[in-house]
Amino acid sequence: MTYFLSDAHLGSRVINDPQAHIERLVGLLKQMANDADKIYLLGDIFDFWYEYLFERHQWRRKDGTWLLPRSKRQFTSLISALHDLTQTGVEVHFFIGNHDIWTFGDLERNTGITVHRHPESLIIEGKKVFLAHGDGIVPSDYFQSLPKVWQKKIRRFMRLRAFFHNPVPQFLFRLLPPMIGDAFGYEWARRSRLKEIQKPCPYKGENKEELVLYAKEQEAMAVKGRTCHHDYYIFGHRHILLNLPMSNAEQQATSSVIILGDFFQQFTYAQMTNTKLTLLT
Ligand SMILES: [Mn+2]
């Protein structure tokens, strides 16, 4: 059995009881441990995550107890649960989102999970699956087709994204005292979360939703042999729940676009066996 989950935004300062939110995910992970072979965490699991230079990098003591740096101590039960999963042979894959780009090895080394920094094309449960958080993924002709105002907005987002992914500012931010870095990061994340709660952006329909357009374009290219066909395109990021089968007249094979909802307000995730994919709450 394989599970997919995204956008928990753990630690968000919008939530009244952040610890209860963390324990809720820990509870689900422990439940998944009963029958999971693989778990894919598809980004924004943390509302803000930064591994600083001047903090503890070894989180597990020799006697097996945990001591995380103060900036991450609230996540101790989660880190311990992830470690237990990988220790018992469950593969845990962590895709960075746009809120938790900044893991530099500590998370991977201390838990045994695999961190992915780019979209992946994988065989899962016998199916060809395209996996990505979803930020920055748009079809190729998308940009020109938009009104000027939107072009400007998206250009700004892409510039910010490039800045966040740039190793030079990343390194400088790592030098900060964790308390200062976190104060800044969690506040930025809180504002972006509030913006999304106040002005939610519902599903735009299959002719406008960027991730769907991207998948359609990939499948159209696959028909011409320029990319390969995928049975599933699975994304997070949008905080909407979608299971959209796409069929192509020229092509026998069909694909589905899955958007996982979130584990922030909707508490949704996906479960996949070799026969089907199911969205669960
Ligand atoms: Mn996101």
How far does residue 99's CA lie from ligand 1's centre (Å)?
6
Q: How many domains does the chain have?
A: 1
Instruction: Say what the pTM is.
Output: 0.91
Average pLDDT, integer, range 144-170: 86
Residue 153 lies in a domain: no
Return the higher-pLDDT residue of 41 and 144. 41
How far does residue 67's CA lie from ligand 1's centre (Å)?
28
How far does residue 46's CA lie from ligand 1's centre (Å)?
10
Residue 237 lies in a domain: yes
How far does residue 186's CA lie from ligand 1's centre (Å)?
14
How far does residue 107's CA lie from ligand 1's centre (Å)?
19
How far does residue 34's CA lie from ligand 1's centre (Å)?
28
Average pLDDT, integer, range 122-133: 96
Residue 88 lies in a domain: yes
Residue 92 lies in a domain: yes
Residue 13 lies in a domain: yes
Residue 96 lies in a domain: yes
Residue 182 lies in a domain: no
CA distance 160 to 168: 14
pLDDT tens digit sequence for 172-226? 999 999 999 999 999 999 998 888 888 888 999 888 899 999 999 999 888 888 8
CA distance 278 to 267: 14
* Percentage above 90 pLDDT, the chain: 73
How far does residue 118's CA lie from ligand 1's centre (Å)?
14
CA angle, corner 152, sides to 147 and 154, nearest 5?
Answer: 95
pLDDT tens digit sequence for 93-121? 999 999 999 999 999 999 999 999 999 99
Query: Domain holding 58: CATH number?
Result: 3.60.21.50
Which ranges constitute the DSSP H helices of the chain? 18-32, 76-87, 106-111, 148-165, 167-174, 178-198, 210-223
DSSP-based helix, strand, coil % in the chain, nearest 5: 35, 20, 45
Residue 6 lies in a domain: yes
pLDDT confidence band for 251 (50 / 70 / 90): low
Enclosing domain of residue 108 = 2-137+203-280
Q: Reduced to 3 states, what is the DSSP secondary structure of residue 128? A: strand
How far does residue 197's CA lie from ligand 1's centre (Å)?
14
